[in-house]
Amino acid sequence: MKLSQIIISVIIIFLIPIYAEAETDEKKDEDIIDAISVKRGITVTEIEESGKEIFEFTGSHAESVSEDLLRVHNVRATIIQSDGSEIIIMTELAYYNRNKRELTTDKYVEIISGDGVMTGIGMYLNTEKKMFRLLKDVQIDSLRKTDDLGLNLPE
């Protein structure tokens, strides 16, 4: 009887560390269960209920920061306005919060629209609320021609 108790005790002594390690691994897995890493490019598209595409952005690669937040590198975003014209936004790094539908960055941003280029440092874009802000060092360059201004300048 003593021999069987010794054998059971030895088995338990060896199994406790294995069980503890398994629980630790499960805990680690819980922490990264929503982690993703996209290495060959990412595209996120937002579509209205009518089926019309209103916003899309691409990146060269991305990784999750949390369950709802993606860090996206080499971002090129396209906002499609109600008249069909497009606004292009480019930056080297941005964060996309899928629940809030926000794209934010503290990096240099370049925005190209039909008649100009706007640049700045830092950006906040919320597609649900249709809000956009460049945060600092904003510059606007117009691409209009002289005759577009209607000044009737002599030649």
Looking at the predicted structure, is the pLDDT value of residue 26 above 60? no
pTM score, whole prediction: 0.65
Alpha carbons 43 and 56: distance in angstroms, whole number: 7
**Is residue 155 a part of any domain in this protein?**
no
Of these ranges, 4-8, 21-25, 80-84, 90-94, the one predicted with the greatest mean pLDDT is 90-94
Higher local confidence (pLDDT), 70 or 146: 70
Query: Do residues 45 and 27 share a domain?
Result: no
CA dihedral 50, 67, 94, 143 (to 10 degrees): 10
DSSP type of residue 99: T
Alpha carbons 21 and 77: distance in angstroms, whole number: 44
Query: Do residues 137 and 125 share a domain?
Result: yes
**Is residue 1 a part of any domain in this protein?**
yes
> What is the band of 25 on the pLDDT scale with cuts at 50, 70, 90?
very low
